[in-house]
Amino acid sequence: MAISRRNFIKNAAAASAFLALGVAPKAMAAGPGDKVDNWVKGVCRYCGTGCGVMVGVSNGKVITVKGDPNNHNQGILCLKGALLAPVIYAKERVTKPLIRKNGELVEASWDEALDLAASKFKEAIAESDPDSVAYYGSGQALTEETYLASKIFKAGLKSNNVEGNPRLCMASAVGGYVSTFGKDEPMGSYNDLDAATCFFIIGSNTSECHPVLFRRIAARKQNDKNVKIIVCDPRRTNTSRIADLHMSMKPGSDLAILNSMAYVIVNEELDDYRFHNKYVNFMTNDKEKVDFEAYKVFLADYKPEDIEELAGVPAAQIREAAMIFAESSATTSLWCMGINQRIRGVWANNLIHNLHLITGKIGKLGSTPLSLTGQPNACGGVRDTGGLSHLLPAGRLIKKQAHRNQLEEQWGMPKDSLNPKPGLHTMALFQAMNDGKVKVVLTLCTNPAQSLPNVLKYREGLEKCFNVAIEAFSDAISLKYADVVFPPAFWVERTGVFGCTERRYALVEQAIEPPGECRPSVNILIDLALRIGVDPALIPYKNSDDIWDEWRKVSAMTPYNFEGITRERLKKESGIKWPCPTEDHPGTDIRYVRGEDPNIPLDYPDKYHFYGKPDGRAVVWMRPQKPAAEPAGGDYPFTLTTGRVIDHWHTATMTGKVPEIARSFPNAYVEVNTKDAKRMGINHGDNVKLTTRRGDMTFKARVGDVCEPGLVFVPWFDPKLLINELTIDAIDPGSKQPEFKICACQVEKV
Ligand SMILES: Nc1nc2c(c(=O)[nH]1)N[C@H]1C(S)=C(S)[C@@H](COP(=O)(O)OP(=O)(O)OC[C@H]3O[C@@H](n4cnc5c(=O)[nH]c(N)nc54)[C@H](O)[C@@H]3O)O[C@H]1N2
Ligand SMILES: Nc1nc2c(c(=O)[nH]1)N[C@H]1C(S)=C(S)[C@@H](COP(=O)(O)OP(=O)(O)OC[C@H]3O[C@@H](n4cnc5c(=O)[nH]c(N)nc54)[C@H](O)[C@@H]3O)O[C@H]1N2
Ligand code: SF4
Ligand SMILES: [Mo]
């Protein structure tokens, strides 16, 4: 039955998260809740929305999960979060240490496994140097785990080869915030969603990937008829179905569209001259400071009529989008991988910030450029603690001597003893394994043999390198390459902090004992480090509370300052947003604004202060349109894009264990546009072969109008039909993030 747009919005507002399976929210609430002995507060372990949960425990087992009414999600969860309990008890849990003997992973004692792993680290460092070892972590690890692993490698082993999956995910967003504002992380919060009258959603399928936030946006629209939603995405996603305006663009034309919107705003004199004259510098790509007039000259190339063909969007739509954006009383932009996973992801991020800076729609409730983060702890765990190869905790940089010296003092190390050379970024790291330069790697909470782009190319390195994995599920395909596997305590089997999209830190409290011989990852990391020979004085922790306390202090002399977010507070409160300098500070909703951001003195003369930049001014960057690394054309006339579906999480090691979810999406498929399908004689369910310059693979077709003609989409959750064998591994020169979203391909019926 056709569903009207108005009804769709209503349904989306009421139960978007449950729509995919047609399960009513009422059914979800039913459960053995009356038998629960105690409820333990936590955070959902899936997406960067960071919903608060209450975990229902009975006789030492988690029997149900419900939303935390005191957290931002106000008690609401999507299906994935609500169905977390069975994942804990999946029969595929790794519960004993494993080591590879005669090609097979076999059970071993903790001592045997730890000694073997430690000896390989020692050997590699002794034979070559500390750069021959690496850590590859995750935005799903706890903050304490990433902070500790990063410290062990950078301070203990003197290797800056500390990376993680956020490089595949948020690196371009980090690059965007840092180059525009001088500091990482969004300045706004989810409160902006309740005040915005315009939502500009670009390259984000919010409805499937941040369902609880989408529900909040849909509710906002439902309750206020003035609210306008603009979606810019080459697919007709569920998200686009609540849009007043959907710019169904050609993949990779975002830079042109964003500049074109700026062109309209400036030419219609909808810019806020008073704001940008005082708080903004205009800069060329070569970092030359210019004036507003020069910016106008730059924009002259982006008249909507001149780019409509390139963008595949009618000029009138671009004009309309710009007018809605600029004329609304409050505009919030939301974006995710459609923007970040591009070889010009950083630039695209800059251009979104530009729109807010030229209109002054920033730092006011409802007006903010809010980058949606993917994983539950990419922000708090990896970005904030500096869990990447060029970073140190709290926004410090390895290449800056003053920053290194601060950490050396904090960590009780001799001055100038940290390794001053940044380590390898993710794709360079896996290449270095191919080349035999990185000989031992420790992975934690990530499944790179499935998630890397152009993945077949890197399997050689995974085979060659001695692989030590801390992994919860035995069917994660990366374990095919593991030489040692440590069984970790999973989700609510240990305690630690998650930090979500809106700078909110919240505690995941231990609710149950881990099964078998599983141990918290911080204990595993400490034991391994001691056996490798790391100075015990560097890791003097009794438990993860001690690590949190140290990290609080490390933050204190920076604008992250969250010394006031103590463990005691986290136990009582359902999350607090940094900065939060003192225990009586309520946390910060809006950064860079006097009276809101505790980093700005109350007697500071100006209202706004972008203190990440030397002169306190944010930057409007002049970033030109650039094509994708491998645009469609010639022998490869289609664009292949990859992404997510609402029910599965990434490599499906967890969601694949939940029957209700697994049934709805058993296998990967390819979305083909109806017109293309007709031309090629493809019917729904037919086998379709996709060929890229890296290989070919056959999928069942889903024919419809989700993709524009010329575009095909494949979700990447299926290890049996692994589209990452076909995707390109080109990277953004700034952020080093791969272009998962665009490569050229052939499509044929087989
Ligand atoms: N259900 C579910 N939710 C998740 C996850 C999950 O695995 N499953 N993972 C989490 C993580 S880690 C992440 S990073 C986020 C990702 O969240 P999203 O980024 O929202 O999800 P994707 O499906 O990767 O891609 C988003 C959109 O980008 C569009 N796109 C492709 N090319 C272009 C382009 O050139 N320009 C524009 N403007 N758009 C383009 C696609 O059509 C798609 O709709 O989701 C998080 N939430
Ligand atoms: N084609 C394509 N590929 C992509 C993307 C895309 O859009 N398209 N997106 C990229 C993005 S944005 C991301 S974030 C990455 C994600 O890529 P990955 O991080 O590789 O994917 P996950 O499935 O989340 O891997 C998490 C692993 O940790 C295990 N695990 C779960 N809980 C725990 C725990 O508590 N402790 C430990 N030690 N292990 C645990 C899981 O079983 C799983 O094997 O993929 C990237 N790859
Ligand atoms: S929206 Fe994200 S954080 Fe919230 S319940 Fe769903 S998966 Fe978990
Ligand atoms: Mo991600």
CATH number at residue 386: 3.40.50.740
Residues 674, 705 contacting (CB under 8 angstroms): yes
Give yes or no for residue 31 having a pLDDT over 70: no
Looking at residue 606, the DSSP 8-state letter turns out to be S
Distance from residue 533's CA to the centre of ligand 1 (Å): 42
Residue 126 neighbours by CB under 8 Å, 6+ apart:
none
Per-residue pLDDT, 28: 41
- Prior bond of 579 cis (ω within 30°): yes
Amino acid letter at 429?
L
- Considering the domain architecture, whether residues 356 and 417 belong to the same structural domain is answered as no
> What tokens appear for 507 in the block?
């505690």
If one residue of 23, 44, 66, 73 were mutated to test the ligand 3 pocket, choosing by the most ligand atoms within 8 A of its CB, it would be: 44
Residues 212 and 301 in one domain: yes
Residue 35 pLDDT grade (very low, low, confident, very high; cuts 50, 70, 90): confident
Query: Is the per-residue pLDDT at 250 higher than 90?
Result: yes
Q: Give the Å distance between the CA of 137 and the centre of ligand 4.
A: 13
User: Within a domain: residue 748?
Assistant: no
Helix-then-strand count for the chain, H and E:
26, 29
Same domain, 188 and 329: yes
Cβ neighbours of 548 (radius 10 Å): 24
* Model confidence at 21: pLDDT above 80: no
What is the sign of the dihedral through the CA atoms of 662, 666, 668 and 670? negative
Determine the residue type at 207: S
Query: Which of 57, 88, 119 finishes a domain?
Result: 88
Per-residue pLDDT at 16 exceeds 50 = no
Q: What is the mean pLDDT of residues 316-343?
A: 98
Residue 4's pLDDT is 65
Cα 414 to Cα 377, 409, 418, 536: the distances in Å are: 31, 7, 9, 15
Mean pLDDT of all residues belonging to the chain: 95
The reported pLDDT for the residue numbered 626 is 97
Please check whether residues 179 and 159 belong to one and the same domain.
no
Residues 482 and 524 in one domain: yes
- pLDDT at site 678: 98
Per-residue pLDDT for 543 more than 70?
A: yes
CA distance 4 to 252: 30
pLDDT given at position 14: 55
Q: What CATH number did the domain enclosing 656 receive?
A: 2.40.40.20
Which of 88, 112, 130 is at the close of a domain? Answer: 88
How far, in Å, from the CA of 140 to the mean position of ligand 2?
8
239 C-beta closer than 6 A to ligand 2: no
- Bridge partners of 367, per DSSP, are 364
Supply the pLDDT for residue 3: 58
CA 643 to ligand 4 centroid distance, Å: 10
Q: Give exposure, 368-405, as e/b (b: 16+ Cβ within 10 Å).
A: bbbbbbbbbbbbbbbbbbbbbbbbbbbbbebeeeebbe
Residues 64 and 200 in one domain: no
pLDDT at 8 over 90: no
According to DSSP, the residues that pair with 687 across neighbouring strands are 700
Ligand 3 pocket: which residues have CB below 6 Å?
44, 46-47, 49-51, 77-78, 80-81, 210-212
Give the residue-averaged pLDDT of 92-115.
Answer: 98
- CATH number of the domain that residue 273 is part of: 3.40.228.10
Residue 685 resides in a domain: yes
Q: Which two tokens stand for residue 421?
A: 């050379």
Residues 384 and 479 grouped into a single domain: yes
Q: In terms of pTM, does the model score above 0.75?
A: yes
Q: How far apart are the first and last CA of the chain?
A: 31
Q: Which two tokens stand for residue 131?
A: 């750069």
Domain count, the chain: 4
Whether residue 202 sits in one domain with residue 121: no
Region 193-214: what's the mean pLDDT?
Answer: 98
Answer whether residue 279 shows pLDDT above 80.
Answer: yes
Give yes or no for a contact between 503 and 578, defined as CB atoms under 8 angstroms apart.
yes
Rounded (10°) CA dihedral 448, 133, 483, 493:
-70
Does residue 586 lie within any of the structural domains? no
Contacts 24+ apart (CB under 8 A), 584-593: 587/504, 588/503, 589/188, 589/189, 589/191, 589/365, 590/187, 590/188, 590/189, 590/363, 590/364, 590/365, 590/368, 591/185, 591/187, 591/363, 592/181, 592/187, 592/362, 592/363, 593/363
Dihedral of the alpha carbons of 156, 159, 161, 165, in degrees to the nearest 10 = 0
Q: Are residues 506 and 393 in the same domain?
A: yes
Residue 591: DSSP 8-state: S
pLDDT given for residue 638 in this prediction? 98
Q: How far is CA 314 from CA 20, 89, 250, 367, 485, in A?
A: 32, 52, 11, 26, 54
Report the C-alpha gap between 283 and 18 in whole angstroms.
Answer: 46
653-672 pLDDT per residue, tens: 999 999 988 888 999 999 99
Residues lining ligand 1, Cβ inside 6 A = 47-48, 169, 202-205, 208-209, 232-235, 237, 251-252, 254, 336-338, 374-375, 641, 643-644, 646, 648-650, 741
Residue 193: which pLDDT band, with cuts at 50, 70 and 90?
Answer: very high
Yes or no: say if 607 and 593 are a contact pair by the CB < 8 Å rule: yes
529 and 411 in a common domain: yes
Q: What is the pLDDT of residue 144?
A: 98
Together in a domain, 162 and 183:
no
Q: Which domain holds residue 351?
A: 171-371
- The answer to whether position 651 is within a domain reads yes
- Does residue 294 sit in the same domain as residue 341? yes
